[in-house]
Amino acid sequence: MQALGRILALTLLIFIDIFVSESSCVDKNQTTQNSLHLVTEVYTTVSVQMGTKAMLCCPSIPLTKVIYILWIIIVRCQPSCIIAYKVETKETDETNCSGRGITWASSPDLRPDLQLSAVALQHEGNYSCEIAAPDGNFHKAYNLQVLVPPEVIYFPVKNRTAVCEAMAGKPAAQISWTSDGDCVTKSESHSNGTVTVRSMCHWEQSNVSTVSCLISHLTGNRTLFIELSQGTTSTPTSLLTIIYVKMVLLGIILLIVGFAFFQKRNYTRT
Ligand SMILES: *[C@@H]1O[C@H](CO)[C@@H](O)[C@H](O)[C@H]1NC(C)=O
Ligand SMILES: *[C@@H]1O[C@H](CO)[C@@H](O)[C@H](O)[C@H]1NC(C)=O
Ligand SMILES: *[C@@H]1O[C@H](CO)[C@@H](O)[C@H](O)[C@H]1NC(C)=O
Ligand SMILES: *[C@@H]1O[C@H](CO)[C@@H](O)[C@H](O)[C@H]1NC(C)=O
Ligand SMILES: *[C@@H]1O[C@H](CO)[C@@H](O)[C@H](O)[C@H]1NC(C)=O
Ligand SMILES: *[C@@H]1O[C@H](CO)[C@@H](O)[C@H](O)[C@H]1NC(C)=O
């Protein structure tokens, strides 16, 4: 119990969270392409942390010149979702988009941008905006990648060995150690696209007492310190020693008491 408490107390955690929820368009430097000269669609990759809000922007064209706005959303395992707005009649039309948490960022007659209230793994896919204007069509296409921060666990195990694990992260986290040890790193991919990475290291030299692992991930890095357990099987051995010493002491006491008792009996008899 004492040893466990010490390990917990000495194990520190540093967490740097670099991601904040998006309150503006995910792609700030917009590039507008006139579709008349477009041969293949150019996708801008945007990475958004799961659970945060995301905004996808159309090419910025004065809305007074716009005829219609069309968003086409293609994600895996779901029918395409199409959101359209006709400026002249102020009509909006949605096909296969309900229940996906995808809406206009504000009224489409104010801005043509799209908003995802809380990004989930199912949102990963391609989002394209087409704006029709009298002088041509304008495109903007995004490839949305969802980032999932891994759940991190770390602990020492017997025999001067430590484990660092980054569970169900997307993309896979990377684990590195500050002191060179004998390491085995394994990763396991899950069906939802997340990956669990587990690294276990052993240190032979007894001069290494505290090690640290760095878990690198796009959603933030963490450095974790682990105090290695000393010796191989010291705890059970020392416990046995204490029990043994106690039993010997008890035996000696019993012997003294018994001896005193017999002495007293002999004395009273004579
Ligand atoms: C998105 O577009 C890219 C590039 O064309 C393509 O490789 C990918 O399969 C598309 N994703 C989906 C979900 O259709
Ligand atoms: C909408 O979804 C249904 C099935 O859920 C499908 O049959 C239909 O083709 C979809 N419409 C479009 C425009 O993708
Ligand atoms: C301790 O770990 C090393 C390296 O993994 C191994 O060779 C050795 O047998 C282990 N010792 C015990 C007592 O488990
Ligand atoms: C992905 O799958 C793994 C393994 O089934 C699970 O632990 C994890 O919570 C899932 N992540 C998400 C974001 O659904
Ligand atoms: C531990 O000892 C080895 C040689 O025995 C040495 O190479 C290494 O630098 C030492 N490590 C530390 C942290 O002192
Ligand atoms: C996280 O770690 C990676 C690799 O070690 C590094 O390239 C990156 O700059 C680090 N990010 C932060 C925010 O410290």
192 lines ligand 4 (CB under 6 A): yes
Q: Which residues does 180 contact at the CB level (< 8 Å), separation at least 6?
A: none
CA of 216 to the centre of ligand 6 (A): 6
Q: Residue 203 CA: which ligand is closest?
A: 3
pLDDT at residue number 33? 42
Separation of alpha carbons 27 and 220, rounded Å? 20
Q: What's the CATH architecture for 2-147?
A: Sandwich (2.60)
Q: With contact defined as beta carbons under 8 Å apart, do 123 and 195 qualify?
A: no
Q: Model pTM? A: 0.71
pLDDT digits (tens, 9 = 90+) for 39-87: 457 899 999 999 999 999 999 888 888 999 999 999 999 999 999 999 9
d(CA 223, CA 229): 19
**Which ligand is closest to the CA of 207, given by its number?**
5
Q: Note the pLDDT tens digit of each residue in 113-163.
A: 999 999 999 999 999 999 999 989 999 999 999 999 999 999 999 889 999
CATH code, residues 151-227: 2.60.40.10
Close Cβ partners of 37 (under 8 Å, ≥ 6 residues apart): none
Domain(s) labelled CATH 2.60.40.10 in the chain stretch across 2-147, 151-227
